[in-house]
Structure 1
Amino acid sequence: MDKRFFYLLNKARHRVYKHADQRSEEALGISVTQVGALLLVAGDEGCLLKDLAHSLHLNSSALTGLAGRMENKGLLERRTCDRDGRASRLYLTDVGREKIESAKPLITELNNRMTDGFSDEEVTVILKFLNHLANDF
């Protein structure tokens, strides 16, 4: 059994992301990053573009491109911020809301696949470990 945490974590992240992205493209016609962006906007409708960039760990230019592609697909709408004309706020469209609903079974499927073969206690330990990494580094 390989015991190289950093290597395994990086390899696992890459493979899970690649698999999820492929499944998302097949099932929904959008990338897994776009699904994540839709879910974040849904949780904070009218959020600033820069706040979404921060949440997705993307630089501003990368998020500008992502938002443009999503806007072209009719998933979201950018509106100028009332308080700062240089800033943009993001809003879901009806198509974006439909994609979120369509994504829910896929998200459940992916979570089930990742936890398949593990007991509830083991999943709790894995979640504790992942939360530790996500919050303490």
Structure 2
Amino acid sequence: MKSDRRLIFLLTVGYRRLQRSIEHEMLAHDLTSAQSGVLFYLGRNDGALIGDASQALDIVPSAMTGLADRMERSGLVKRKRDGADGRAQRLYLTAAGQDLGKRAAAQAKAINSRLMDGFSDVEIEVVSRWLTSLQDKFPKDKDAGKQQE
């Protein structure tokens, strides 16, 4: 029996269900998935430029600025001007942001385990390689990002 090959449909439905589940889990911590991404990124890159976080998380710069505003008002991050370029800003985790980031990371680990349940390491490697290949097959359109700013 051949598996279902409606990949666009399967990806779309799977993404929506996963996103709803993630939002439900993260909202229990008063956190959106976008905010979680910022906390995870800053957990490894504290003091990163807002532009670097935007690029790493594949978020348009204007959306990243608004996200940083909301997270700063929530006490999760602090913004400071970059010493070398006064126009640029860096993001730093607050103690509350570090704590929430650790809790969100534990939740993400549990969700990842659930995603991999029932599949061998070899199967997960294939799926991971395939999903990663989507970034090369469908690159981020830099001109579209400029239009959205």
TM-score (norm 2): 0.82
Matched, 1:76 2:77: yes
Aligned to 1:116: 117
Report the counterpart of residue 66 of structure 1 in structure 2. Answer: 67
Does 2:68 correspond to 1:36? no
- 1:21 aligned onto 2:23: yes
**SS of residue matched to 2:118:** coil
What's the secondary structure of 1:12's corresponding residue? helix
Offset of residue 22 of structure 1:
1.4
Q: Match for residue 100 of structure 1?
A: 101
1-structure distance, mates of 2:73, 2:48:
19
Q: List runs of 5+ in structure 1 lacking aligned partners.
A: none
Counterpart position of 1:87: 88
| C-alpha distance in structure 2 between counterparts of 1:16 and 1:123, whole Å | 17
Whole-angstrom distance in 1 between the partners of 2:117 and 2:9: 22
Residues 40, 105 of structure 2: 8 Å contact kept: no
For 1:117, what is the secondary structure of its paired residue? coil
Letter in 2 for 1:30: L
Deviation at 1:135, TM superposition (A): 4.3
Per-residue deviation, 1:94:
0.5
Aligned to 1:6: 8
Q: Distance in 2 between matches of 1:57 and 1:108?
A: 21
Q: Which moved more, 1:54-63 or 1:9-18?
A: 9-18
> Contact 2:35 / 2:71 at 8 angstroms: preserved in 1?
yes
Query: SS in structure 2 opposite 1:85?
Result: coil
How many angstroms does 1:50 deviate by? 1.1
What secondary structure is seen at the aligned counterpart in 2 of 1:91? strand
**Aligned length in residues:** 136
- Opposite residue 15 of structure 1, the aligned amino acid is R
Which secondary structure does the structure 2 equivalent of 1:78 belong to? strand
- Whether contact under 8 Å (2:42, 2:48) holds in the other structure is yes
Which residue type is aligned with residue 99 of structure 1?
L
